[in-house]
Chain A
Amino acid sequence: GIQVEQSPPDLILQEGANSTLRCNFSDSVNNLQWFHQNPWGQLINLFYIPSGTKQNGRLSATTVATERYSLLYISSSQTTDSGVYFCAVSGAGSYQLTFGKGTKLSVIP
């Protein structure tokens, strides 16, 4: 099946700093989503982005499908950004999302 690798596994930031999270995948995809799992365990949809670039406030994401990677940018980080960020993909002909292991982000004041 499709493989998903996220980096870095852990990231500690000072409040106000910017960061880039990466997601590599092993095959062509028809769905790519970024999620934020907050400290209470809820999974929040951030982006549906199988290709192209999207922005939502301080967050933006870019997927280069031909090179099989996606990037999530967080600017001016806040303590509420802390949690685990997951990338999930599904391949052609499949509906099941395969999740990466996540990047654990800690934003300190």
Chain B
Amino acid sequence: NAGVMQNPRHLVRRRGQEARLRCSPMKGHSHVYWYRQLPEEGLKFMVYLQKENIIDESGMPKERFSAEFPKEGPSILRIQQVVRGDSAAYFCASSPGTPRSQETQYFGPGTRLLVL
């Protein structure tokens, strides 16, 4: 049973380019979460998605960042016109999406974004 998959594992972009980070949840999981770990800072929640729906994007910067989780395929976190301050590790997590409110979130290996 494969875990949460993220790709690429490392991504280098120049300022002004776009970054696309992909996340495939664990098999059978329908809830996806994105977190960001900035250097010298803790992990911070960005967005929570279910299939075709954004449930909570309260942690997402208002500009340049967007996320989607289409009916088919992985979840995508998209950063437009990247700046050096976007350099960070981006983690995706997934959970089963059962009716219970308490659910373990399983984390992927992360994508390390470096903006030159």
Contacts and interface: CB of A to CB of B under 8 A. Distances in A.
B52 interface: no
B48 to A, nearest CB: 5
Nearest to A102: B42
B22 interface: no
A86 B42 CA distance: 9
Contact of A95 (B33, B43, B110): B33
A35 B104 CA distance: 11
Interface string A74-101: 0000000000001010001101111111
Assign chain A's interface to a size class: 20 to 34
Contact of B45 (A33, A41, A98, A100): A98
B35 interface: yes
A12 interface: no
B44 interface: yes
Nearest to B45: A96
Contacts of A92: 101
A99 B58 CA distance: 16
Interface in B23-74: 31, 33, 35, 42-45, 48, 55-56, 58-59
27 contacts: A30-B101, A30-B102, A31-B103, A41-B109, A41-B110, A42-B109, A43-B91, A43-B107, A45-B106, A48-B104, A50-B102, A86-B43, A88-B43, A95-B31, A95-B33, A95-B55, A95-B101, A96-B33, A96-B45, A96-B56, A97-B35, A97-B43, A97-B93, A98-B45, A99-B42, A99-B43, A102-B42
Interface of A: 30-31, 33, 35, 41-43, 45, 48, 50, 86, 88, 92-93, 95-102
Given A35-B107, A97-B33, A99-B35, 9 more contacts: A31-B103, A31-B104, A88-B43, A95-B31, A95-B48, A95-B101, A95-B103, A96-B58, A99-B44
